[in-house]
Amino acid sequence: MKTNRQHYDQMVKKASPNSKLGLNCFKAFIVGGLICVLGQFLYGLFESWGATNDQAATYVAITLIFSAVLLTGIGKFDDLVNFAGAGAAVPITGFANAMASPAIEFKKEGYIFGVGAKMFLIAGPVIVYGTLASMLVGIVYFFIQR
């Protein structure tokens, strides 16, 4: 064919529409912000019910995780992310969805090799590299302290 790979690469770039970056950022900002406002509201609510700061923070995390898993279970969370992108995926709600969705999907393959093994399919790398990063920070902190 007369079209070579280099030229084709240019053609593909020209023919392929890009994501609407500005609009996506705006939607992520609004929804992500609303999730944080909800978290702050819950924090205040738990405090007013007599929880300490630490307890209130924990209860907020539990409530948001439960909500995200519930929405995942009834098939609505992916619609929310499809609309809001990182606004819903980056907060703790996204992590909860990343754990719950493979657990639901791979239940058909059983509780050991399905749910147990595949549950970390998406969240696994976050845990691995999150732990690694915190270790590195810990080492740096150790030397700065001395």
DSSP class of 108? G
- Is 24 within 8 Å of 45 (Cβ atoms)? no
Work out how close the CB of 45 gets to another protein at its nearest, in angstroms, rounded to a whole number.
26
Using alpha carbons, select from 102, 105, 108, 107 the residue that is nearest to residue 124: 102
- Write the single-letter amino acid at 80: L
Q: Between 60 and 100, name the residue whose CB sits nearer to another protein.
A: 100
Under the binding rule (CB under 8 A), the answer on residue 144 touching another protein is no
Q: Measured from the CB of residue 57, what is the shortest distance to another protein in angstroms?
A: 24
Site mask, another protein, residues 119-138, x = CB under 8 A?
--xx----------------
The span from the CA of 73 to the CA of 99, in Å, is: 11
Cα distance between residue 71 and residue 76, in whole Å: 5
Kindly tell me which of 49 and 113 has the beta carbon lying closer to another protein: 113
Contacts of 53 by beta carbon, 8 Å cutoff, 6+ apart? 47
Does 67 bind another protein (CB under 8 A)? Our answer is: no
Site size for another protein (CB under 8 A): 37
Kindly tell me which of 33 and 73 has the beta carbon lying closer to another protein: 73
Q: For residue 85, give every residue at least 6 positions away whose Cβ sits within 8 Å of its Cβ, in sequence order, or none.
A: 24, 27, 28
Given the rule CB under 8 A, which residues bind another protein?
1-3, 5, 8-9, 11-12, 15-19, 24, 72-73, 75, 77-78, 80-82, 85, 88-89, 94, 97-98, 100-102, 104-106, 108, 121-122
